[in-house]
Amino acid sequence: MINKKRIGIIGWILFLVLVYFPLFLHLDSYPFKIWDESLFAMRAYHIAVEGSVLENFNYFSHIIEHANLKPPLGSVFQALSFRLLGYNELGLRIPITLFALATSFLMIRLGKEVFDSYLPGVFGTLMLFTSTGYICSHVARTGDQDVMLAFWAFASMYAFYRYIHSSALRQKFLWIMVACLVVGFLTKTVLAFFFLPGFFIYVLIQRKLKDILRQKQIYAAVGILGIVVIGYYLLMNLLFDDFWKHVSEFVLSRYMGERNDQGQYFFYYFKQLVSAEFLPWVILLPINLLLYYRSKEGAFRNISLLLWLCMLSILTLVSFSATRMSWYEASAYPPAAMLAGITLYQLLSQKRYHWTILVPALLIFSWAYYRIVYKVTNYRITQPDEKIAYLMKKVEKELPELKHYTIYCQPYNGQVAFYSKMYNDQHNYDIKVMTFWDEEKVGPGNYLMLYNDQQLERSKEEHELELISAYDEVQLYLLK
């Protein structure tokens, strides 16, 4: 008994070590990305500092009339983290990685309840955290909130499964599911509901629709969801001028508008999942189908079916959007990884094939794990305009007396907007941002930070420049 207990403790420690490197290693080693991550940083910063929801990003320097349209709940978590850990990369990103970790624990719990073993969820977790579509920029290793959404979606699926397969459709799990859907909506609106078609088809296949429709609570649950959705938009439109107009123009157009240059062909997300983004674990998905049709084990068939329906539901729905960005499918990875995990568990449960499956699985996992850790360790920002924050940090460290300079950048740069505001507020800097040379002159004796040859040549036409500091393409000059 003691030996088994020690082995179990050692196993969990090893598991946590394996999880640490893909999720947490070098998490704060690079600055916020220009676009969405910086926007989330600005949202959270405003909540943390002002104590209110940001209405428009023009609160930050050189961001002009850019309405804040995403729900605030995820940013509340990040604002609390900012207050605890500081206004830095770790403060914004750590809540996201903790939600990824919570997804892992939920997968392990689901595996334990369905198969009476921790292994299906452990396998699924390690597959999830070695998938480049999940451990990547904009998903699990940045301050973007897609992982939060994926957690609430997976949690709603977990509660739905328990509800359907509990005795007499236990109401506790119905209300847990509703709570997860509500919180998911307040994190990233209707994307939280993209598993619902899968839920409905599952109910039909399980022939439980009549039983569910006989329950009065189901109508109350639907009513609550409707009230939350309608109430949210009414409240935001009441608080912020033209909120619904901006939602219609900038959000709904992503799904119902014409395809723009970010659009892809319809099966783009399906191809992503079955190619590099979920390699090598995608090879287990067709094996799961084979086992599904051969197995007589009800629990395995039920959970496999639900995971398939949820994964296909979100992949199909996001495929209809006019704008298709790679991270829109983030919520599909936990069910896909869980499918792969339970499939490997089923294969290993067949004693006669145990070693012939285990050895290749370990070799494949070693390759996938090395690949993801290598990617994390060697991640580099390549865009010059995303390296400005590097030089700002270098100046803060090496030239602490230099508190005033101007950053010359393109009309929109969320990274510059956040860091300049944060440095000015929290560290007593006087950083200005300019975007148009002809309109915003910088006189002699001032310091100018720039990052491309065009800006440099324009500056040289009117000033003699003395290089003060540099980071790759980004340079800080004294104008004479």
- My answer on whether 399 and 259 are in the same domain is no
Residue 471: partners with Cβ closer than 8 Å, 6 or more residues away: 387, 390, 391, 394
Both 326 and 185 in one domain: the answer is: yes
SS3 123: helix
Q: pTM of the full predicted structure?
A: 0.93
Q: How deeply is 370 buried, as exposed, middle or buried, from its count of CB atoms within 10 A (0-12, 13-18, 19+)?
A: exposed
Number of domains in the chain: 2
Q: Could you tell me if 285 and 339 are in contact, meaning their C-beta atoms sit under 8 angstroms apart? A: yes
Same domain as 396, residue 320: no
In terms of domains, do 339 and 392 share one? no
For residue 56, list its beta bridge partners. 67
pLDDT tens, 313-338? 999 998 887 666 777 889 999 999 99
How confident is residue 261, by pLDDT bands cut at 50, 70 and 90? Answer: very low
Please name the residues in contact with 178: beta carbons below 8 A apart, sequence gap of 6 or more.
Answer: 221, 224, 225
* First-to-final CA distance of the chain: 78
Q: Do the domain assignments include residue 97? A: yes
Asked if the structure places residue 468 within a domain, the reply is yes
Domain boundary among 377, 404, 427: 377
412 pLDDT exceeds 90?
no
Residue of higher predicted confidence among 14 and 355: 14
Give the pairing type, strands 447-450 and 404-408. parallel
362 vs 327, higher pLDDT: 362
C-alpha span between 395 and 400 (Å, rounded): 7
Residue 324 lies in a domain: yes
Q: Stretch 252-264: mean pLDDT, rounded?
A: 55
Structural domain contains residue 63: no
| 226 lies in the same domain as 318 | yes
Give residue 253's domain range: 2-30+69-377
| Residue range 287-299: mean pLDDT, rounded | 92
Please, what's the largest Cα pairwise distance for the chain? 81
Q: Confirm whether 61 is domain-assigned.
A: no
Statement to judge: residues 352 and 460 lie in one domain: no
Residue 368 lies in a domain: yes
Let me know whether 363 and 433 are in one domain: no
Q: Which amino acid is at 470?
A: A
Q: Which two tokens stand for residue 318?
A: 């996001």
Check if the beta carbon of residue 335 is closer than 8 Å to that of residue 288.
no
Q: Which of 325, 350, 377 is the last residue of a domain?
A: 377
Report the Cα 328 to chain-centroid distance in Å: 9
pLDDT at 66 over 90: no
Same domain for 392 and 309, yes or no, is: no
Mean pLDDT value of segment 121-131:
97
How does pLDDT run across 270-288, given as a tens digit for each residue?
Answer: 888 887 789 899 999 999 9
In whole angstroms, give the CA distance from residue 433 to residue 46. Answer: 19
Q: For residues 316 and 397, state if they share a domain.
A: no
Query: C-alpha angle 349/123/120, rounded to 5°?
Result: 50
Which region among 4-8, 284-288, 411-415, 455-459 has the lowest average model confidence (pLDDT)? 4-8
CA distance 45 to 420: 12
Q: What's the Rg (C-alpha) of the chain?
A: 25
Q: State phi, psi for 321 to the nearest 5 degrees.
A: -70, 145
Residue 400 and residue 393: Cα distance in Å, rounded?
10
Residues 401 and 369 in one domain: no
One domain for residues 215 and 139: yes
Average pLDDT, the chain: 90
For the stretch 78-101, pLDDT in tens is 999 999 999 999 999 999 999 999
Judge whether 53 lies within some domain: no
Residue finishing a domain among 347, 377, 407: 377
Tokens of 62: 């050189």
Contact indicator for 42, 414 with CB cutoff of 8 Å: yes
- Determine contact, residues 134/67, Cβ cutoff 8 Å: no
Domain identity same for 134 and 252: yes
Q: Mapping DSSP to helix (H, G, I), strand (E, B) and coil, where does residue 434 land?
A: strand
- Which residues does residue 465 pair with via DSSP β-bridges, in sequence order? 479
Contacts of 404 (CB under 8 A, 6+ apart): 429, 430, 431, 446, 447
Q: Is 303 inside any structural domain? A: yes
Confirm if 152 and 101 have CB atoms less than 8 A apart: no
DSSP state of 207: T
Give me the phi and psi of 387, to 5 degrees please: -100, 0
Structural tokens at position 369: 């794990």
CB 309 within 8 A of CB 201: yes
Residue with tokens 């950053």: 407
Strands 465-471, 447-450: pairing is: unpaired
